[in-house]
């Protein structure tokens, strides 16, 4: 078997790649009409025909690819029972949604991410397909964002409402989206560099890691603090797992010890700060990130959302029926910055799906951690990438929101690491480029 045969991937990979590229940047409509970023209320409800046609075509292509493949569907369903239960409950919640059409459309988009992920993971060499998809996207996304910021500033740069803060968006629509992609790309490229230590691979990865970090740092007046913080968590985990590699059989014990050490350091730091500065560790950390204790207005928003959620605490208001401009709630009147998501993925799930949704999501996460831990003796590099991505997304959803959000780049990555498919991430030889 020659080296060329080892790196072949199916042409079908272009379908999920197109989906993920749009999710990471901006929809086709916003590419063609950049001024379409400011949607009126009717736009939130009715959607956009062009984007609907594009996403529908990609979903249809993804389903066709999956039906042509010889997949053990019964085994696949059993392995992903919690994820299937989550989507079933999301569908059922439409019945008590006040905006059923909107909820249904958003459910189709969220399910579209699952279809695209299954196309990737059911490739003959799933690990190489995942790696290829991410590299193809990042190798275009990063330099193109820099070009947009430097030379096409009407597209690559946005400004705050008062016009005082410059916000880099690159090929995306917001600094937070740019930050999300850059934190994922930086961790992935560092991981990829540690797997293949050839000079060529190291050189290429260092170039794109530098691009990721430069974009992640943002402009002088605005950057995504959450993405920077989560990136640092990812780096810490990468380094920690690197030193654990020699004792894989004791990984569980090492992780427990690591958690206890972190807890001890947190306690010592808290006592030191309290003794010398009269500050809490939380307040000091928040101030160091350039934010106030309201997390830039987030805590007030969370309080209002929890008050609304208390009216339907068990079942929620229905999937996809809460953030529809200011049609379904009056939060835009109370918060002039007009939030379009709750800036906390867990609260967003609670509002829309209630305690039942939170319970099912917890089941998905716990099941995913168990499945990932089982794979650490098979391929340690794959194990650490999956568990790091999952942990990063869980932390990211504390002050941002990506759970259950169709065509969101982190929802795609989340499904990519939690879904268990036949031969998922197992290194196998791909002998042809056929679907």
> What integer pLDDT is reported at residue 2 of this predicted model?
37
> What integer pLDDT is reported at residue 411 of this predicted model?
95
SS3 sequence, the chain?
A: CCHHHHCCCCHHHHHHHHHHHHHHCCCHHHHHCHHHHCCCHHHHHHCCHHHHHHHHHHHHHHHHHHHHCCCCHHHHHHHCHHHHHHHHHHHHHHHHCCCHHHHHHHHHHHHHHHHHHHHHHCCCCHHHHHHHHHHHHHHHHHHHHHHHHHHCHHHHEEECCCCCCEEECCCCCCHHHHHHHHHHHHHHHHHHHHHCCCHHHHHHHHHHHHHHHHHHHCCCCCCCHHHHHHHHHHHHHHHHHHHHHHHHHHHHHHHHHHHHHHHHHHHHHHHHHHHHCCCCHHHHHHHHCCCCCCCCCHHHHHHHHHHHHCCCCCCCCCCCCCCCCCCCCCHHHHCCCCCCCCCCHHHHHHHHHHHHHHHHHHHHHHHHHHHHHHHHHCCHHHHHHHHHHHHHHHHHCCCCCCCCCCCCHHHHHHHHHHCCCCCCCCCCCCCCCCC
Give the tens place of pLDDT for each residue, 77-122: 998 999 999 999 999 999 999 889 889 999 999 999 999 999 999 9
> What integer pLDDT is reported at residue 314 of this predicted model?
93
CA distance 147 to 379: 37
> What integer pLDDT is reported at residue 132 of this predicted model?
94
> For residue 315, which phi and psi values (nearest 5 degrees)?
-105, -20
197's tokens: 């230590």
For residue 39, CA distances in Å to 80, 221, 325 come to 36, 26, 9
CA distance 177 to 232: 17
**Sites in the chain below the pLDDT cut of 50:** 1-6, 37-42, 280-283, 293, 425-435
> What integer pLDDT is reported at residue 258 of this predicted model?
61
394's tokens: 């869980």
Residues 6+ apart with CB under 8 A from 105: 47, 52, 320
For residue 119, CA distances in Å to 3, 19, 65, 160 come to 24, 11, 7, 39
> What integer pLDDT is reported at residue 428 of this predicted model?
42
> What integer pLDDT is reported at residue 125 of this predicted model?
84
Asked if residue 181 lies in contact with residue 172, where contact means CB atoms within 8 angstroms, the answer is yes
> What integer pLDDT is reported at residue 161 of this predicted model?
67
């Amino acid at each position: 078997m020659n080296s060329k045969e080892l790196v072949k991937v199916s042409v079908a990979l272009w379908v999920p790649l197109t989906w993920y590229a749009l999710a990471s940047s901006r929809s086709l409509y916003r590419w063609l009409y950049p001024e379409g970023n400011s949607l009126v209320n009717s736009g939130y409800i009715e959607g956009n025909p062009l984007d609907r046609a594009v996403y529908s075509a990609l979903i249809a292509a993804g389903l066709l690819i999956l039906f042509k493949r010889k997949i053990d569907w019964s085994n696949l369903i059993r392995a992903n029972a919690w994820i299937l239960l989550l989507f079933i409950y999301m569908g059922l919640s439409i019945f008590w949604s006040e905006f059923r059409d909107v909820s249904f459309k958003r459910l189709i988009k969220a399910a579209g991410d699952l279809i695209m992920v299954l196309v990737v993971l059911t490739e003959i060499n799933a690990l190489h397909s995942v790696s290829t998809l991410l590299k193809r996207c990042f190798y275009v996304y990063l330099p193109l964002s820099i070009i947009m910021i430097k030379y096409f500033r009407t597209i690559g740069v946005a400004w705050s409402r008062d016009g005082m803060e410059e916000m880099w968006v690159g090929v995306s629509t917001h600094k937070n989206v740019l930050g999300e992609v850059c934190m994922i790309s930086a961790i992935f490229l560092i991981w990829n560099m540690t797997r293949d230590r050839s000079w060529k691979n190291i050189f290429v990865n260092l170039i794109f890691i530098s691009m990721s970090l430069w974009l992640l740092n943002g402009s002088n007046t605005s950057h995504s603090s959450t993405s920077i913080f989560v990136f640092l968590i990812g780096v810490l985990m990468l380094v920690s797992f690197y030193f654990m590699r020699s004792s894989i059989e004791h990984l569980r014990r090492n992780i427990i010890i690591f958690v206890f050490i972190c807890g001890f350091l947190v306690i010592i730091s808290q006592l030191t700060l309290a003794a010398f500065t009269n500050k809490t560790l939380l307040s000091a950390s928040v101030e160091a990130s350039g934010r106030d204790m309201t997390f830039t207005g987030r805590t007030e928003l969370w309080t209002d959302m929890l008050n609304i959620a208390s009216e339907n605490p068990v079942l929620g208001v229905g999937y996809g029926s809460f953030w529809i401009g200011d049609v379904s709630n009056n939060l835009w009147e109370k918060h002039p910055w007009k939030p379009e998501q709750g800036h906390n993925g867990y609260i967003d799930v609670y509002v829309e799906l209630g305690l039942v949704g939170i319970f099912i999501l917890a089941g998905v996460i716990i099941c995913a951690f168990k499945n990932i831990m089982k794979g650490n003796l098979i391929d340690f590099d794959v194990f650490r990438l999956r568990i790091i991505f999952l942990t990063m997304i869980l932390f990211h959803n504390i002050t941002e929101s990506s759970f259950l959000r169709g065509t969101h780049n982190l929802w795609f990555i989340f499904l990519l690491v939690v879904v268990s498919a036949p031969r998922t991430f197992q290194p196998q030889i791909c002998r042809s480029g056929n679907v």
